[in-house]
Amino acid sequence: MKVQCQCGAVSFETPTPAPTAVYHCHCTECQRQSSSAFGTSAIFPANGLFPLSADLQAKLGCWTRPAKEGRTMDCYFCNACGVRIMHRIRNADGQERPTVSIKGGAVKDLDWSEATHIYTRSAVVPIPPGAEKYETTPPPNSPALVSGRRNRGGQLQQQTPMILQYIYDRHNGHWS
């Protein structure tokens, strides 16, 4: 899948043909980051994208913010237009997590139809009837993390506990 910022200066292919999960996050942190009602994240394995190529690294800025338990989150944005492109969590020891969250609006042809709504207790817009939703983080046995989703090729993509950890860490213990 093609990822591109608003001005087109940053452009790259995702490491896999489809994300392992898509989330519409309604927490106040995502509302501020996206300047909107919620933020959309497509979760991909980091392998194949990281380490960043020299060309991509030169086009991206990085702002790092604190996260839970001494972790940090690297927030990458286009140096030219400022659009946030992706996030990646680092453990307290500096080790990068094996997943990356690419902002949904930057991913061409992303299937938004089965995205899971999380942190809905802070939602400022109605959640569509029948949508999978959670007031905070999905529990480990939730359909969003256990059942998996089919990609466009029909292959089942299992969700992993690492996605749940990513969501929890990303919100820095803020359950709003």
Which pair of tokens denotes residue 39?
A: 């933020």
Residue 128 DSSP class: P
| Domain residue limits, the chain | 2-169
Rounded-to-integer distance, Cα 71 and Cα 58, Å: 25
The answer to whether the predicted template modeling score (pTM) of the entire model surpasses 0.85 is no
For residue 31, pLDDT over 90 is answered with no
Q: Does domain 2-169 have CATH number 2.30.30.90?
A: no
Is the pLDDT assigned to residue 173 strictly greater than 60? no
Give the confidence band of 113 by pLDDT, cuts at 50, 70, 90. confident
Q: What is the 3-state secondary structure (H, E, C) of 86-121?
A: EEEEECCCCCECCEEEEEHHHECCCCCCCCEEECHH
Q: Which of 152, 108, 98, 118 is nearest to 30 (CA)?
A: 118
pLDDT tens-place string over residues 38-81: 889 999 999 999 999 999 999 999 999 888 788 899 999 999 99
